[in-house]
Amino acid sequence: MHYISTRGHSGRKQFCEVLLEGLAQDGGLYVPESYPRVDRATLDAWRSLPYLSLAWEVLSLYVSDIPPADLKAICEKTYTPAIFGKPDIAPLRKLERGLYLQELSNGPTLAFKDMAMQLLGNLLEYELARRHQELNILGATSGDTGSAAEYAMRGKKGLRVFMLSPRGRMSAFQQAQMFSLQDNNIHNIAIDGVFDDCQDIVKRVSGDLEFKRRYKIGAVNSINWARLLAQVVYYFSGYLQASEREPAGVSFTVPSGNFGNICAGHVARMMGLPICRLVVATNENDVLDEFLRTGVYRVRSRADTLETSSPSMDISKASNLERFVFDLVGRDAARTKALFDGQLGERGGFDLSGDPRFAEAAASFGFRSGRSSHADRLAMIRDTWERYHTVIDPHTADGVTVARAHTSPREAMIVLETALPIKFAATIKEALGREPDLPDRFKGLEELPRRVKVLPPDAQAVKNYIAEIATS
């Protein structure tokens, strides 16, 4: 299996090259040269597999430069009950006939990002050791990505993490989770500023190519193909569990901002997994809902990007959308490049509404979409509690709200759970009048000693700090 760039100018790459590179050199995203097909007989044979074996089967179709036994060992090390909190790794929870939650947030940081990031940590450690290389991961977080990356990379040989976050702006739980890590390869940097300042600094530091090369700076953001591939596995798992109970058909509703989580569903469907519909749920920042309904992709400015109570979906543009659009335009790299290249933001986006293929293709790929508001979110958190005695987090609530508008009789609708409610306690309190329960293993977390460096919003200060640690 080889990988190509959506913009057509980065040659054919192997999996491990794509793992380390992240973004392709031509600015595009890596995609498999073609999607391997999984037929009905194979799918049936996978029905009885535990999650780690299912992961190994799916990954094997895409990874040809890691020996099978090594890849299996990596899957065995990753998807364990000790790391994911339960004997089953991505179980379905029935809410009512035809409506399910798929639990994806039982990992170390209580958000679905652990499902992919834990695998990425083990893949990176393996590949860096094989190449005798080191990597300094630099990232910016508003909460979920940073903690998932740190818990996946802590203690890993050859890896350091430098994670920027806006000082005092993450939830109390998120701050405690990240800053209490004592591993000496994990470096929390609190920036006196907002999330955008953090992101700007990361861009500026990574844009200094001499610095980047000298200090082996890398990223683990959501455009990394390996993260997407890890997420493909739980669509297979969810489908196999649900199709036993509701044989008429299975659909998914996925809360999404960057089009990462839902893009993995698209890949699964392209591989032949018989998903009826893939429903995208957005919050008030409805870039994706607008695009899927109208064909108009309108990138929002900073001022037009709202701060909502499902903050992990507060995005101005959807960094993974390019992969889907590449398929939508018939894998035409020149066309994709013309749509996404250069100053997409300054051009304001693009418009495919006049393209006769848009409506047809959007339908044949099974996509639907909807949006949810703060009031919907609170109402759905209350409703889910009252009907099923289940507390859901605000992002999952966006999913359930949109899912309810897209169910059909005798079909299973699976809503992907994106986080546990304790990560967003303030909104739960607003909805239910009380804070969600803290799982036992997190009791006392907020009292632990903290390790965090406070720096001004200045790229040079961050560079000096990295240089000091990376050479000591």
Ligand X SMILES: *Cc1c(COP(=O)(O)O)cnc(C)c1O
Given the rule CB under 6 A, which residues bind ligand X? 111, 113, 144, 222, 255-262, 312-313, 395, 418-419
- Minimum distance, C-beta of residue 383 to ligand X, in the bound complex (Å): 19
Which CB atom, from 212 or from 293, has the smaller least distance to ligand X? 293
Name the residue number minimizing CB distance to ligand X.
260
CB contact set of 132 (below 8 Å; sequence gap of 6+)? none
Question: SS3 sequence, the chain?
Answer: CCEEECCCCCCCECHHHHHHHCCCCCCCCEEECCCCCCCHHHHHHHCCCCHHHHHHHHHHCCCCCCCHHHHHHHHHHHCCHHHHCCCCCCCEEEEECCEEEECCCCCCCCECHHHHHHHHHHHHHHHHHHHCCCEEEEEECCCHHHHHHHHHHCCCCCEEEEEEEECCCCCHHHHHHHHCCCCCCEEEEEECCCHHHHHHHHHHHHHCHHHHHHCCEECCCCCCHHHHHHHHHHHHHHHHHHHHHCCCCEEEEEECCCCHHHHHHHHHHHCCCCEEEEEEEECCCCHHHHHHHHCEEECCCCCCCCCCCCHHHCCCCCCCHHHHHHHHCCCCHHHHHHHHCCCHHHHCEEECCCCHHHHHHHHHCCEEEEECCHHHHHHHHHHHHHHHCCCCCHHHHHHHHHHHCCCCCCCEEEEECCECHHHHHHHHHHHHCCCCCCCHHHCCHHHCCCCCEEECCCHHHHHHHHHHHHHC
Half-sphere exposure of 416 (CA within 13 A, CB side): 30
What is the CB neighbour count within 10 angstroms for residue 207? 10
- Minimum distance, C-beta of residue 260 to ligand X, in the bound complex (Å): 3
Which CB atom, from 175 or from 312, has the smaller least distance to ligand X? 312
Which CB atom, from 229 or from 466, has the smaller least distance to ligand X? 229
Strand partners, 279: 253, 368
Strand partners, 367: 278
- Minimum distance, C-beta of residue 458 to ligand X, in the bound complex (Å): 27
Which CB atom, from 13 or from 113, has the smaller least distance to ligand X? 113
- Residue 77 designated active-site: no
Which CB atom, from 238 or from 257, has the smaller least distance to ligand X? 257
Which CB atom, from 111 or from 128, has the smaller least distance to ligand X? 111
CA separation for the pair 334, 34 (Å, rounded): 17
- Minimum distance, C-beta of residue 310 to ligand X, in the bound complex (Å): 7
Which CB atom, from 68 or from 439, has the smaller least distance to ligand X? 439
The catalytic position among 13, 86, 94, 113 is 113
Which CB atom, from 136 or from 222, has the smaller least distance to ligand X? 222
Which CB atom, from 127 or from 286, has the smaller least distance to ligand X? 286
- Minimum distance, C-beta of residue 353 to ligand X, in the bound complex (Å): 24
Catalytic residue set: 113
